[in-house]
């Protein structure tokens, strides 16, 4: 079965499940698609007691897809660029300092707190796991993925200042979280015998600042080329080339492709670039093209999340560990947000209960699963994959569906 057939099957399932959700269930797309795919997979498991043909076919499809490569090396760049392109750069600049602290200090503190909490939890459950592997788990579960909740925030009339914090944090902490994970992974794998604190800081700096600089360069070059012509077809293709070639360059230079795409997307989507380099027709086509890319990839992505349960090892202790890690993860996220919120809330006029809403609204998603799949067997891959999957599904289905109720209960007034 070649990649075209597999892609066609995934697109068909995405369209079919999407239709069922919009026509009958009427949940936000990412939440509905995840739920329907899980129910479909459970139905396939039940049917396999009588005829396992469909189960074998589904497992074969999943076995042919390297979820980690597909997401981190291909889809993530497109998704982050599309998200950044449609983010209000002016409002983001107003909240740049808290967003920067959330995405760096917050991720690092959350990584350490979750890693420590899970280390002692697993010890209580009788699972002896090295502390460095628990830190790896802390790094992969700390980045938030609020794609599913953004529509709910708008529907609930959440204040724009709160919405931009969640969007901005997610755009940057995805990139920072991946860098933190890769740094700890290098330390845990023992791939470098002279892995010192200096080399860790150097790797982190090169990945982060290299990615930011590459993004600035890509953004400026794209702006330059867009400004020189007025042909919406070619201009759309130029933005596509920016993402595809930029991802390859970032991989070759060993810098963070996610951060590069976020910066490039913010520059190209900024008001000044739009006014100086795009006609209204071009702007409309660029926006619609990237909205379509965003929706298509997210639809496929959340179908894949639902199907990934086929690769899990159903160990009762692992599932208990996952359920008990949910409150640990939420508590650690709340603590990691407290200091930045206290530091900036008076100066930037934060809405009431910002820490609580950002904690509950900071969903975990596909990036965490992709990173967990990248662990080696010696790093307790099966254990942490099950824990990650339990947290992600709870995050999408429970937190994602109740954020609107939380905002309404707190009676936050939209601006």
- Domain end: 14, 44, 63, which one? 63
Q: Are residues 261 and 351 in the same domain?
A: yes
In a domain, 273, yes or no: yes
Which segment, 43-47, 218-222, 352-356, 357-361, is predicted with the most confidence on average?
218-222
For position 145, what pLDDT does the model report? Answer: 79
pLDDT at 55 over 60: yes
Q: Which of 13, 43, 63 is the last residue of a domain?
A: 63
Q: Are residues 222 and 97 in the same domain?
A: yes
Sequence-separated (6 or more) residues with CB below 8 Å from residue 365: 144, 145, 147, 148, 305, 392, 395, 396
Q: Is the per-residue pLDDT at 150 higher than 70?
A: no
Is residue 52 in a domain? yes
Q: Residue 380 falls within a domain, yes or no? A: yes
Q: Give the pair of three-digit tokens for residue 309.
A: 């349960």
Question: Are residues 38 and 181 located together in one domain of the fold?
Answer: no
At 21 the pLDDT is 95
Does residue 290 register a pLDDT over 70? yes
Same domain, 55 and 91: no
Query: How is residue 74 written in tokens?
Result: 């291909």
So what's the pLDDT on residue 37?
A: 94
Residues 43 and 118 in one domain: no
Region 190-214: mean pLDDT is 76
Q: For residues 30 and 301, give the distance between their C-alpha atoms in angstroms, rounded to a whole number.
A: 9
CATH of the domain at 280: 1.20.1530.20
- Range among 150-154, 307-311, 316-320 rated most confident: 316-320
The confidence score (pLDDT) of residue 40 equals 94
Q: Identify which has the larger pLDDT, 120 or 69.
A: 120
Residue 81 and residue 184 in one domain:
yes
Position 253 pLDDT exceeds 70: yes
* Residue 140 and residue 24 in one domain: no
Residue 365 lies in a domain: yes
User: For the CA atoms of the chain, what is the radius of gyration?
Assistant: 21
Domain for residue 415, yes or no?
no
Quick one: pLDDT at residue 337?
94
Residue 84 sits in the same domain as residue 14: no
Q: Are residues 78 and 162 in the same domain?
A: yes
Q: With respect to residue 109, please indicate whether it lies within any of the assigned structural domains.
A: yes
Domain-terminating residue out of 17, 38, 63: 63
Q: Look at residue 191 and tell me whether its pLDDT is greater than 60.
A: no
Count CB-CB contacts under 10 A for residue 370: 26
Q: Residue 152 — very low, low, confident or very high, per pLDDT cuts 50/70/90?
A: low
Q: Is residue 81 assigned to a domain?
A: yes
Q: Are 170 and 148 a contacting pair, CB within 8 Å?
A: no
pLDDT at 193 over 60: no
Indicate whether 347 pLDDT > 80: no
Q: 32-44 as b/e, with b when 16 or more CB fall inside 10 Å? A: bbbbbbbebbeeb
Percent of the residues in the chain that have a pLDDT greater than 70, as a whole number: 94
pLDDT of residue 148: 59
Highest-scoring range by mean pLDDT, 3-7, 132-136, 160-164, 184-188: 132-136
Overall number of domains in the chain: 2
Looking at every residue in the chain, the average pLDDT score rounds to 89
Shared domain for 168 and 103, answered yes or no, is yes
Q: Do both 118 and 258 map to the same domain?
A: yes
Residue range of the domain that includes 22: 3-63
Tell me whether residue 324 is exposed, middle or buried, using C-beta atoms within 10 angstroms of its C-beta: 0 to 12, 13 to 18, 19 or more. Answer: middle
- Checking if the pLDDT of 1 tops 60, the result is no
321-330 pLDDT, tens digit each: 999 999 999 9
What whole-number distance in Å separates Cα of residue 380 and Cα of residue 108? 22
- As given in the structure block, the two tokens for residue 279 are 């006609």
Secondary structure of the chain in HEC code, one letter for each residue: CCHHHHHHHHHHHHHHHHHHHHHHHCCCHHHHHHHHHHHHHHHHHHHCCCCCHHHHHHHHHHHCCCHHHHHHHHHHHHHHHHHHHCCCHHHHHHCHHHHHHHHHHHHHHHHHHHHHHHHHHHHHCCCCCCHHHHHHHHHHHCCCCCHHHHHHHHHCCCCHHHHHHHHHHHHHHHHHHHHHHHHHHHHHHCCCCCCCHHHHHHHHHHHHHHHHHHHHHHHHHHHHHHHHCCCHHHHHHHHHHHHHHHHHHHHHHCCCHHHHHHHHHHHHHCHHHHHHHCCHHHHHHHHHHHHHHHHHHHHHHHHHHHHHHHHCCCCHHHHHHHHHHHHHHHHHHHHHHHHHHHHHHHHHCCCCCHHHHHHHHCCCCHHHHHHHHCCCHHHCHHHHHHHHHHHHHHHHHHHHHHHHHHHHHCCCCCC
Mean local confidence (pLDDT), 348-368: 88
Instruction: Read off the pLDDT of residues 368-384 as tens digits, 9 standing for 90 and up.
Output: 999 999 898 999 999 99
**In which band, very low, low, confident or very high, does the pLDDT at 196 lie, cut at 50, 70 and 90?**
low
Structure pTM? 0.91
**Shared-domain flag, residues 21 and 145:** no
Looking at residue 117, what is its pLDDT? 98
Q: Enumerate residues 6+ apart whose C-beta is below 8 A from 102.
A: 165, 168, 169, 173, 337, 340, 358
- Specify if 414 maps to a domain: no
Instruction: Give the number of other CB atoms < 10 A from CB of residue 56.
Output: 12
């Amino acid at each position: 079965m070649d990649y075209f057939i597999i892609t066609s099957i995934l697109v068909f399932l995405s369209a079919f499940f999407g239709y069922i959700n919009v026509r009958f269930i009427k949940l936000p797309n990412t939440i509905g698609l995840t739920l329907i795919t899980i129910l479909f997979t459970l139905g396939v498991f039940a049917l396999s007691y009588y005829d396992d043909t469909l189960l074998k076919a589904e497992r074969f499809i999943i076995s042919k897809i390297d979820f980690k490569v597909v997401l981190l090396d291909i889809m993530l760049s497109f998704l982050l660029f599309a998200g950044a392109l449609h983010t209000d750069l002016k409002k983001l600049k107003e909240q740049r300092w808290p967003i920067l602290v959330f995405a760096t200090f917050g991720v690092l503190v959350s990584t350490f707190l979750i890693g420590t909490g899970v280390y002692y939890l697993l010890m209580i459950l009788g699972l002896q796991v090295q502390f460095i592997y628990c830190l790896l788990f802390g790094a992969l579960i700390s980045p938030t993925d609020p794609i599913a909740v953004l529509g709910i925030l708008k529907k609930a009339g959440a204040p724009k200042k709160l919405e931009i914090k969640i969007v901005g944090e997610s755009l940057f902490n995805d990139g920072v979280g991946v860098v933190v994970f890769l740094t700890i992974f290098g330390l845990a794998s023992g791939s470098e015998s002279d892995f010192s604190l200096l080399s860790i800081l150097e790797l982190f700096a090169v990945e982060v600042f290299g990615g930011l600089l590459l993004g600035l360069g890509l953004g400026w070059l794209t702006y330059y080329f867009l400004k020189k012509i007025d042909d919406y077809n070619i201009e759309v293709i130029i933005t596509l080339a920016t993402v595809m070639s930029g991802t390859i360059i970032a991989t070759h230079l060993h810098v963070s492709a996610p951060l590069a795409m976020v910066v490039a997307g913010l520059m190209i989507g900024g008001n000044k670039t739009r006014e100086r380099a795009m006609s209204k027709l071009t702007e409309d086509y660029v926006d619609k093209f990237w909205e379509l890319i965003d929706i298509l990839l997210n639809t496929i992505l959340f179908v894949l999340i639902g199907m990934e349960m086929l690769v899990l090892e159903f160990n009762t202790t692992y599932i208990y560990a996952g359920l008990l890690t949910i409150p640990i993860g939420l508590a650690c996220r709340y603590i990691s947000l407290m200091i930045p919120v206290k530091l900036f809330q008076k100066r930037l006029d934060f809405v009431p209960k910002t820490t609580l809403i950002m904690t509950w609204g900071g969903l975990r998603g596909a990036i965490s699963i992709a990173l967990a799949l990248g662990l080696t067997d010696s790093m307790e891959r099966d254990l942490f994959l099950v824990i990650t999957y339990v947290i992600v599904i709870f995050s999408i289905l429970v937190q994602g569906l109740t954020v609107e109720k939380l905002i309404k209960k707190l009676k936050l007034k939209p601006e």
